[in-house]
Structure 1
Amino acid sequence: MSASRSAKPLSVPDFCDELGISRSTFYDWRAKRRAPRCITLPNGSLRIRRDEFERWLTDREDPA
């Protein structure tokens, strides 16, 4: 199994902790389609795959 497949997906609190943002900021970004793609679990909880998180961060890098 590849490293990206075995990495545990991030919960919304984990994602927010990594970036130092509030949950309301995350949900604002999500509403504006600026957040990374999420997986919706049957109970309604969201998860972000680690490789999706890394891709999303890379897309926001300043090329300067």
Structure 2
Amino acid sequence: MAREKAAELLTVRQVIEELGGISRRTFYRWRELHIAPRCIRLPNGELRVRRDVLNDWLAERAEGTVS
């Protein structure tokens, strides 16, 4: 079950909603700056973000954490 959750693919809309409703433009700007979570480009050109990648990306940005 944990593996099944890790393989979940999120749409850009789902990601920006989870990030507090940032604008689509902000997300794509972050991609240009290489600071957005890693995306997967599907054969139809749409982007997806793996759930585990988003969770790791958020954890890396948590304030007050010790590396």
Structure-1-length-normalised TM-score: 0.88
Match of 1:59 in 2: 60
Segments of 4+ moved more than 6 angstroms: none
Match of 1:16 in 2: 16
RMSD: 1.3
Map 1:25-44 → 2, pairs under 5 A = 25-44=26-45
Gaps of 5+ in 1: none
For 1:18 and 1:61, the matched residues in 2 are separated by: 15
User: Among the aligned pairs, what percent are the same residue?
Assistant: 50
Gaps of 5+ in 2: none
Structure-2-length-normalised TM-score: 0.85
The number of residues matched between the two structures is 62
